[in-house]
Amino acid sequence: MVDQAAGQRSAQSSPSVRNAVVIGGNRIPFARSGGPYAYSSNKDMLTAALDGLVARFGLQGERIGEVAAGAVLKHSRDFNLTREAVLGSALAADTPAYDVQQACATGLETVIGLANKIKLGQIESGIAGGVDSASDAPIAVSEGLRRVLLDLSRAKTTPQKLSILRRLRPRDLAPNAPTTGEPRTGLSMGEHQAITTARWEISREAQDELALNSHHNLAAAYERGFFSDLVTPYRGVTRDANVRADTSMEKLGKLKPVFGKDLDAPPTMTAGNSTPLTDGAATVLLGSEDYARRNNLPMLANVVDAEAAAVDFVHGAEGLLMAPVYAMPRMLQRNGLTFDDFDFFEIHEAFAGTVLSSLAAWENEDFCRNTLGLDGALGKVDRSKLNVNGSSLAAGHPFAATGGRIVASLAKALAEKGSGRGLISVCAAGGMGVVAILEAREK
């Protein structure tokens, strides 16, 4: 599985590329779907997050090299969502932008794409980001009505038009709303994860404990002011609305299972150890070292490397959200690193079961040998270094915004520590996953 031919290299030692640094980030607090942002569109929220970033780093009227962002649930009118948000922001109107869509990995992928452009000298600065609204989701007309409307627009004569209109049936007036179901399997993400959770025999208690840590860590990070320069209030919301500082194992233990109820194994996944549908937006300012120095901006961390993977979940060969498990050894091997070389692990909590299944897979000798093609178990992640400032179970998960939240928080944690490396792992719909390495700037 591991691409031996790629060999090992250090991104820093490569002479032809320069460093891409994380300068900072800004996001709006994440809110539960149907809550305070219920009437804000993706464009509204992305613009708000961009404007907060502009204010934080004095970018008013500045032409940024490029802005890349995206949304997973997107209206067809939002074909140029990021460019439209830039035009609505305080950035210079001649700042170019492009949209990215890689399901829940969208936000992380925008960071990787722009960091690569900076490393190659194509741009000096970039803003990566993402936004999603589960409240303001697009609703499409039915296939029947859509076909009729399209054929009608092409019809020339009245008899033609009448005969097309006669095809319309009452059921064609019912709209289509988006779902979290995988198009090829018809299973929701939670149902997919329930299969994986059962396969790795992850207990209810272990999942609730991970959720509890996420809430406590996020609440503690707010208490010590960790997010004061990462989050800008929006619509009266000042911190992530989903966080429950006072939750407990007892409270989490009382929730009824919601996924995996049709499986043979007892269901373990609840609303407490699964992420809720969330609205929010996040952005990250990236630049070359030159750019940061010239503008007197901080340099929090280097973007070192990244790797994407995908698995065949369609035919049940692997779980839907397990692709990061495959991406990780390829990236570590290329960089000559092991889990012991990292001080922070940011593993996106789509579900507590996703994180715990990934950890179990990396610790499993047989799986790593026979499925990943490694010499032995990849290794154990030190749980005291995992999601230390909370993750998606507590903060919520506005799909495309999660990557920006993680990158900005991890870069800040690395800058606070002043040394070391951080590892990011994000799973995505379609059986995909993206992992990345950040490292602290040498002082």
Partner 1 sequence: MRDVALDSVPGLPSLYRSALLSSIPLPWGDGSAQRTSDASAAALPDVRHRVSGVQAMVGDLTRFQQLIGAPAQDVLPSGYLHTIAFPVAMSVMARKDFPLPLLGMIHLRNAVEHRRVIGFGEQLDIAAWAEDLRPHHAGTQVDLVTEVSSSGAVVWTGRSTYLAKGTRLAGPAPEAKEERQPFTAPPLTAVWNLPGSIGRSYAAVSGDYNPIHLTALTAKALGMQRAIAHGMYLASRMVQETKPAGVDSFSWSIDFRSPVLLPARVAIAVAQQSDARGWQGAAITGWNQRRGREHFVGRLARLADLHA
Give residues in contact with partner 1 (CB under 8 A).
171, 184-187, 191, 195, 262-264, 314-317
Contact 386, 345 (CB under 8 A): yes
CB of 137 to partner 1, least distance (A): 19
> Hey, what's the torsion of the CAs at 325, 329, 332, 335, to 10 degrees?
-140
Residue 16, C-beta contacts closer than 8 angstroms, at least 6 positions apart: none
Which residue among the candidates 192, 216, 368, 427 is catalytic per the annotation? 427
Q: What gap in Å lies between CA 75 and CA 137, rounded to an integer?
A: 7
Q: Directed axis angle between helix 42-57 and helix 81-88, to 10°?
A: 50
CB of 193 or CB of 278, closer to partner 1? 193
78 vs 182, beta carbon nearer partner 1: 182
Least Å distance, CB 192 to partner 1, is: 10
Whether 368 is catalytic: no
Length of the chain: 443
Structure tokens at 385: 């270094």
Q: Which is nearer to partner 1, 184 or 369 (CB)?
A: 184
Which of 104, 192, 215, 348 is catalytic? The answer is: 104
Catalytic residue list contains 427: yes
Query: Rounded CA gap, 184 and 52, in Å?
Result: 39
Alpha helices in 189-338 (DSSP H): 189-199, 204-223, 249-253, 289-294, 323-335
Q: What is the CA radius of gyration of the chain?
A: 22
- Minimum Å distance from CB 185 to partner 1? 4
Cα distances (Å, whole numbers) of residue 97 to 46, 67, 94, 182, 424: 13, 4, 10, 29, 25
Nearer to partner 1, 172 or 343 (CB): 172
- Which of 180, 187, 394 lies closest to 275, judged by CA? 394
Half-sphere exposure of 72 (CA within 13 A, CB side): 30
Intra-chain end-to-end CA distance of the chain, in Å: 37
Separation of alpha carbons 64 and 48, rounded Å:
17
CB of 184 to partner 1, least distance (A): 7
Residue 166 vs 443, nearer CB to partner 1: 166
Shortest separation between residue 201's beta carbon and partner 1, angstroms: 14
Q: In this complex, which beta carbon is closest to partner 1, that of residue 176 or of residue 203?
A: 176
Q: In sequence order, what are the beta bridge partners of 428?
A: 432
Q: Which is nearer to partner 1, 169 or 294 (CB)?
A: 169
DSSP 274: B
Helix (H, G, I), strand (E, B), or coil: what is residue 433? strand
Closest residue by Cα to residue 45 from 227, 280, 231: 280
Smallest gap from Cβ 120 to partner 1, in A, equals 34
Minimum CB–partner distance for residue 42 and partner 1 (Å):
28
Catalytic residue among 192, 216, 348, 397: 397
Give the tokens for residue 138.
């697009």
Residues tagged active-site: 104, 397, 427
